[in-house]
Amino acid sequence: MGNTRSSKGAYSKSEAEPYLEKLKLLRARMVGDTNYLADSALKRTRSDAAGDLSKMPIHMADIGSDNYEQEFSLNLLAAEQVTLAEIDSALARIESGEYGACVECGQRIKKSRLNAIPFTHYCIDCASARDQESRG
């Protein structure tokens, strides 16, 4: 990512400033979301969540629902952590002066795309090509 091809389409630090603020706000919100998901998925038992202080056995369907909810929360947490890593990468690209340049072709990523996905690594053409490759 540190090659000359990547930096030719990069935004200057002043051009990247609005995205820096957007990324910082998005990162703060996502950190809160991931903390909440981790707390709800890993630290709370069914009885804690329901306020149930009884030690009576619970129904098997409740256990299944609890397991499903925990697995769903853990999957969301994993996806949020991937996005958080992409946000951190975008913040590093701003700092290094490489933000806004497609890491594939080096062309400038359009502002409309960065407004929608400020942590994107790819211009729309390269993202579409990667999508087509992954679909087979």
CATH number at residue 104: 1.20.120.910
- What are the tokens at 91? 């913040």
**131 Cβ neighbours under 8 A, 6+ residues apart:** none
Report the number of distinct structural domains present in the chain.
1
**pLDDT at res. 40:** 72
* Per-residue pLDDT reduced to its tens digit, 98-134: 999 999 999 999 999 999 999 999 999 999 999 999 8
Positions in the chain whose pLDDT score sits under 50: 1-6, 46
Cβ atoms < 10 Å from Cβ of 8: 12
Domain that holds residue 77: 4-135
Q: Indicate the pTM of the whole model.
A: 0.71
